[in-house]
């Protein structure tokens, strides 16, 4: 789709709806709100040790085609229902993308994939998609890049990530302390776990900071702290999903007085940026879970309808089912990994019940 954009002088400011106006234009309906509430409760129960299920955050690296996102969500919803006793499945619906250098920065910032930067339209398209996914019963996850965008989307998100590049950011830590959903902090780009542990401690405490108010003005927000901030292991210069690395990370959490619960990203540094290795990572994690590793509370997988990725080319519409950012595994492989992880949870559950039964005898 081509959009005509009038020439803009440097410093030109486009008017946006306020968060309150956009939420009135695209409200979170009762069904969507129930999906968000139930998923947040499910994720919290896992993070707080009240549930032995496994959180699985799975979906495209980024959403670039809304029709494909709906198609993916409908397929995933069937598996969410099938494995609901074992897995809390939340769909990755990332609408912003951090870039190390240059590249497409996500549906919110460039919804027509042409560099036009029509953020006002991106916010409307993105919020509408998230509401629709929740209304069909599929809870969604997002990565916070621009803190201001959260004021437009927060009521539709069941889980959010703070990425490896921003876990050290005081602004993102403060924002996380005031969010109403669980927040996962990724270890640093080089693999540093301590930066995320420090971020979790910060986000769990109250802060006072500048924030965008619903009516669009800046105000001072007084947060109470987010008790569900937690650690995401995403690898670095080397993978860190192995049992020794996870045990070391759990020890760092314990030393900081934090719950020993880990979400493990099967992609990024843990797959050494090879999407095909995600299955090997998940198989290793499933073996650890089956053996009784209770610290593994969640797994993240980059998955799409088709395997691989594609480059954006001027004048050539991208294939809807194929990622335009990080390469993803395809649908059939994704479904098999969910089955594998569900069976691992069953094995861990059976193992945890066995000592209790032996003690009763």
**8 falls within a domain:** no
- Sign of the dihedral through C-alpha 109, 110, 116, 121: negative
Which pLDDT does position 103 carry in this prediction?
86
Structure tokens at 88: 């809390």
Quote the DSSP letter at residue 118.
Answer: -
Predicted TM-score (pTM) of this structure = 0.95
Q: How far apart are CA 48 and CA 53, in angstroms?
A: 11
**Does residue 6 carry a pLDDT above 90?**
no
Regarding beta strands 208-212 and 218-222, do their DSSP bridges make them parallel or antiparallel, or are they unpaired?
Answer: antiparallel
pLDDT at 278: 98
Whichever domain contains 124, its CATH number is: 3.20.20.70
336: which 2 tokens? 């098999």
Per-residue CA distances from 343 to 49, 210, 295 (Å): 19, 46, 17
Q: Give residue-wise pLDDT tens across range 164-211.
A: 999 999 999 999 999 999 999 999 999 999 999 999 999 999 999 999
- pLDDT of 299 reads 99
Mean pLDDT of 109-137: 96
* Mean pLDDT estimate for the chain: 94
- How much is the pLDDT for 358? 56
> Looking at the domain assignment, is residue 2 inside a domain?
no
7 in a domain, yes or no?
A: no
- DSSP tag of 318: P
Residue 208 lies in a domain: yes
Provide the residue range defining the domain that includes 109. 38-360
Number of domains in the chain: 1
Has residue 23 been placed in a domain? no
Position 98 confidence tier, pLDDT thresholds 50, 70, 90: confident
In-domain check, residue 325: yes
Q: What average pLDDT score do residues 143-156 get? A: 97
Q: Is residue 103 part of a domain?
A: yes
pLDDT of residue 2: 40
| Statement: residue 3 has pLDDT above 60 | no
């Amino acid at each position: 789709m081509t959009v005509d954009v009038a020439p803009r002088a440097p410093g030109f400011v486009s008017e946006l709806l306020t968060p309150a106006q956009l939420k009135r234009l695209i409200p979170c309906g009762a069904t969507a709100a129930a999906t968000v509430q139930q998923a947040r409760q499910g994720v919290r129960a896992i993070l707080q040790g009240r549930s032995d299920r496994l959180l699985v955050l799975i979906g495209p690296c980024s959403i670039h085609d809304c029709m494909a996102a709906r198609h993916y969500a409908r397929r995933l919803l069937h598996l969410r229902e099938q494995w609901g006793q074992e897995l809390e499945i939340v769909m990755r619906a990332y609408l912003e993308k951090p870039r190390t250098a240059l590249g497409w920065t996500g549906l919110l910032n460039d919804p027509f994939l042409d560099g036009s930067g029509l953020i006002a339209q991106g916010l409307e398209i993105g919020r509408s998609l998230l509401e629709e996914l929740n209304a069909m019963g599929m809870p969604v996850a997002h990565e916070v890049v621009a803190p201001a965008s959260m004021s437009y989307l927060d009521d539709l998100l069941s889980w959010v990530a703070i990425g490896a590049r921003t876990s050290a950011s005081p602004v993102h830590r403060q924002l996380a302390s005031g969010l109403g959903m669980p927040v996962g902090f990724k270890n640093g780009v080089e693999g540093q776990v301590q930066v995320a542990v420090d971020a979790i401690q910060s986000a769990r405490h109250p802060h006072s900071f500048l924030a965008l108010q619903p009516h669009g003005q800046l105000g001072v927000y007084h947060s109470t702290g987010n008790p569900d901030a937690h650690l995401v292991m995403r690898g670095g210069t080397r993978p860190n999903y192995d049992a020794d690395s996870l045990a070391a990370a759990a020890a760092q959490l314990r030393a900081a007085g934090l719950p020993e619960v880990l979400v493990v990203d099967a992609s990024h540094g843990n797959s050494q940026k090879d999407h095909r290795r995600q299955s090997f990572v998940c198989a290793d994690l499933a073996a650890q879970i089956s053996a009784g590793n209770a610290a593994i509370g969640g797994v993240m997988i980059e998955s799409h309808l088709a395997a691989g990725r594609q480059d954006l080319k001027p004048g050539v519409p991208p294939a809807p089912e194929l990622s335009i950012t990080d390469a993803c595994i395809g649908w059939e492989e994704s479904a098999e990994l969910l089955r594998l992880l569900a069976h691992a949870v069953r094995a861990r559950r059976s193992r945890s019940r066995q000592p209790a039964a032996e003690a009763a005898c």
